[in-house]
Amino acid sequence: QVQLVESGGGLVQPGGSLRLSCAASGFSLDYYAIGWFRQAPGKEREGVSCISSSDGSTYYADSVKGRFTISRDNAKNTVYLQMNRLKPEDTAVYYCAADRTPPYWVTIATHCSTDFGSWGQGTQVTVSS
Strands annotated E in the chain: 3-7, 10-12, 18-25, 32-39, 46-51, 58-60, 68-73, 78-83, 92-100, 118-119, 123-127
For residues 102-119, give the mean pLDDT: 92
Task: Provide the pLDDT for residue 8.
Answer: 97
Q: Residue 48: count other Cβ atoms within 10 Å of its Cβ.
A: 25
Task: Provide the pLDDT for residue 55.
Answer: 78
Task: Provide the pLDDT for residue 28.
Answer: 84
Task: Provide the pLDDT for residue 29.
Answer: 84
Maximum average pLDDT range among 55-59, 88-92, 100-104, 106-110: 88-92
How far apart CA 52 and CA 50 sit, in angstroms, is 7
How far apart CA 38 and CA 18 sit, in angstroms, is 15
Task: Provide the pLDDT for residue 1.
Answer: 77
Task: Provide the pLDDT for residue 82.
Answer: 98
On the question of pLDDT at 54 being above 80, the answer is: no
How far apart CA 29 and CA 20 sit, in angstroms, is 17
